[in-house]
Amino acid sequence: MGDVLAIAEQRDGKIRPVSNVVVTAAAMVSKGLGGSAHALVLGGAGVGEHAGDLGGFGADVVRVGENPALEGHVPETHAAVIAEAVCSHDYSAVLFAATALGKDLAPRVAALIDAPLASDVTRLEVDGGRLVAIRPIYSGKAIARVGFDASPAVLSLRPNAFGTNGSQADGRTETFTAAIPDSVRTRIVEFQAAESGSVDMSEASVIVSGGRGMKGPDHWSLLEDLQHAIGPGTSLGASRPVVDAGWRPHSEEVGQTGKTVAPKLYLAVGISGAIQHLTGMRTSQTIVAINTDPDAPIFAVADYGIVGDAFEILPRLTAEIAALRSEE
C-alpha cells in the first residue's frame, strides 16, 4: 500500500519533460503515504533507453513496456496496457499529466479499473495518511478540495502548477510485458503537426495573449516578435472574440470556452477582460495588461498595467526584452 504510479509520456520515442513533473509528484505523494514511486514508460522499441533517468526525479522503479503497437498513440491500446499495469500491483494512486494525451487516456483507464478520477489537479496533499486533491471548478471561480473513497485513485495534474525535484538516485528499470488488445476500432489517419518549437499553453511559463485591440490577424507578428524575444517556453494566447472572428485558432483561446492557464507571466494585450477571460487566467503568477482604455476590467487583475497603443508599446517592449536577453 502507498505505492504510486506515474504515467510517463513519450513523443517520437523520447520521454517528454512533463513526465519529470508527474514523477516528482508521485515521489512526494508516495513518501507521504509510506510507499514507493513507480513510473510507467510505454512506446516502441528503444523507448526504454533513457527511462532510468526518471529515477533522477524520484521513481524507485521504472517499468518499461516496449512494443511496436505502442509506438503511436492509439488510445484504446494504451489505456488497456496502462490498466493492466495498474492492476498488476497494489497502487494507491495513478498520476497522469493533464496534457491532451493524459486528459484523453486517464478517463479510459479509470473506467477500465473502476476507479474515480480527479482531473486537472493543481495541488496535492497527503493529510492524515490520505490523499487530497485540490482543483479549480466553475472555470476557476471556486477551488475544490477533493477526497477519494477508493483505491487506487486516478488523477491528472496540470503541468505548470507543479514543479520538478531532481535527485542523484537512479531508478531500477523493469520490463513490463503487456497483452496488446487485438481488436482496435480506432485508426490514426494523419497528424498535422503545429509549428515546431511551440509549447502548449498548459506547459508554457509565459503566455503572450492578444485581443480585439490588436485590430486584425495581420498584426499578430508583433505578438510573435515579443514571444520570440522572451524565449523558449513562451506560447501565444487569444481572447474569445479574436477566436470567434477567426483571427486565431481555438487552440489558443484562454477562458471559459478555451483553456484555463496559470503561467508565471501572462501578458494581455488589447484584451478588455470579460469575466469569461478573467476566470481563465486570473491565477497566473504575474499579469501585465496593455490597453488603450484605462477603465478596462483587465487592469483590475493586472499587477502592472500600461495605458496606451499596443502598436507603439509592443515594438518597444520587444526591443527592451531582447536587449535584456542579450546582456544575459
Partner 1 sequence: MDIIVCIKRVPDTETHVRFSDGATVIEPEGVKYIMSPYDEFALEAAFRTTEARAEGQVTVITLGDGDSQETLRAALAVGADAALLLRGRRPVTMDGLATAKALAAELETRDEQLVLFGVKAGDDDQQQVGPMVATLLGRPCASNVTSFVVDEDVIRCDREVEGSTEVVELDLPAVVTLTKGAFELRYATLKGIMAAKRKPLEVKDADLPQGRLTVERLDYPPERADGRIIGEGAEAVPELVRLLRDEANVL
The C-alpha cell of 36 is what?
A: 514507493
Cα dist. 267→109, 299, 316 in Å? Answer: 37, 12, 15
Would you count residue 242 as binding partner 1 (CB under 8 A)?
A: no
Give whichever of 123 and 212 is closer to partner 1, judged by the CB atom: 123
Angle between helices 100-113 and 75-87 (to 10 degrees): 50
Considering only 45, 87, 89, 145, the residue that binds partner 1 (CB under 8 A) is 145
Give whichever of 174 and 303 is closer to partner 1, judged by the CB atom: 303
Q: Looking only at residues 191 through 230 of this chain, which bind partner 1 when binding is defined by CB under 8 A? A: 191-195, 198, 200, 206, 230
Would you count residue 123 as binding partner 1 (CB under 8 A)?
A: no
Would you count residue 179 as binding partner 1 (CB under 8 A)?
A: no
Considering only 29, 243, 261, 271, the residue that binds partner 1 (CB under 8 A) is 243
User: Which amino acid is it at 220?
Assistant: W
Would you count residue 313 as binding partner 1 (CB under 8 A)?
A: yes
State in angstroms the smallest separation of the CB of 171 from partner 1: 27
- C-alpha–C-alpha distance, residues 159 and 99, integer Å: 8
State in angstroms the smallest separation of the CB of 207 from partner 1: 12
Neighbours of 34 (CB within 10 A): 12
Region of residue 255 (left: phi > 0; alpha: psi -120 to 50; beta: else): left
Would you count residue 147 as binding partner 1 (CB under 8 A)?
A: yes
| The residue to which cell 500600461 is assigned | 306
Would you count residue 101 as binding partner 1 (CB under 8 A)?
A: yes
Task: Select the span of 1-9, 38-46, 87-95, 98-106 touching partner 1 (CB under 8 A).
Answer: 98-106
State the DSSP H helix or E strand holding residue 130, giving kind and residue range, or none if neither: strand 130-137
Task: Select the span of 36-44, 57-65, 130-138, 171-179 touching partner 1 (CB under 8 A).
Answer: 130-138
Would you count residue 322 as binding partner 1 (CB under 8 A)?
A: no
Give whichever of 191 and 218 is closer to partner 1, judged by the CB atom: 191
Coil/strand/helix, residue 7 = strand
Would you count residue 124 as binding partner 1 (CB under 8 A)?
A: no
Q: Are strands 14-15 and 91-97 parallel, antiparallel or unpaired?
A: unpaired
- C-alpha–C-alpha distance, residues 102 and 275, integer Å: 28
Would you count residue 250 as binding partner 1 (CB under 8 A)?
A: yes
Considering only 87, 100, 169, 245, the residue that binds partner 1 (CB under 8 A) is 100
- C-alpha–C-alpha distance, residues 117 and 106, integer Å: 8
Count the site residues for partner 1 by CB under 8 A. 95
Task: Select the span of 29-37, 38-46, 159-167, 258-266 touching partner 1 (CB under 8 A).
Answer: 258-266
Q: Looking only at residues 17 through 56 of this chain, which bind partner 1 when binding is defined by CB under 8 A? A: none
**CB neighbour list of residue 7: distance below 8 Å, 6 or more residues apart:** 22, 39, 40, 82, 94, 95, 96, 97, 102, 105
Would you count residue 9 as binding partner 1 (CB under 8 A)?
A: no
